[in-house]
Amino acid sequence: MKKERIREKTLVDINKSKQSTFDNLPKNTDTPKESKPQKSIAIQLSHITKDDELGLTVSFRLFPSRLHFSNLLLTISFDGNKVNSYLIAIPPSRLLSDELEFPIDLDMTGIRQGEHVTKVELSERWETGEILVQAAKYVVVQYLPVHREDHYVKVPLVRKIEGAFRIVLPQEKELYRQLERENNKGS
């Protein structure tokens, strides 16, 4: 009898309280979604062929880059074969300009002589994975190898990435730490 009275009081207290409980939670909890920003990308490609190396500079303008976070996917293809893809995260900042550069050096050892098409695709994805904007640019490279190779490869290797962006692989991290320690000891 006493337990039932306590239960009734508790139920009355819960019904009178203004705090939400699991019983009276709202059924639809739709959060207002942020509207997709209207963006555009303009790409410009330049290349320099040195010995067994192709220096490719990807310059791009991202409008507006200062107001919204940007998740870019840069894909490089050589004669229709994918060389590599890079995820580039650009935080919103008033200090950044709209023009950014991504220089890449490709190792052309083992590539056949002749004309080769290099394609660069740049796309930006929204939080849901939907592609907001996409741009692509092609450049035809006339390649004449310095040394004749015994066997040929279809896709060049990425030798070096320069500029404002630095992608450090986990294997390289320890090597960079060792170099920094040696530089600090030498100073």
**Phi, psi (degrees; rounded to nearest 5) at 10:** -65, -45
Q: What is the 3-state secondary structure (H, E, C) of 146-163?
A: CCCCCCCCCCCEEEEECC
Of the CA atoms within 13 Å of residue 118, those in its CB half-sphere come to 27
Task: Report residues of the chain scoring pLDDT below 70.
Answer: 14-37, 65-67, 95-96, 150-151, 160-173, 176, 187
Kindly report the average pLDDT of the chain as a whole number.
78
pLDDT in tens, 103-150: 889 998 888 889 999 999 999 887 777 888 899 999 999 988 877 776
- What domains does the chain contain, in order, with CATH numbers? 40-165 (2.60.40.10)
Tokens of 145: 């190898």
- pTM of the full structure: 0.62
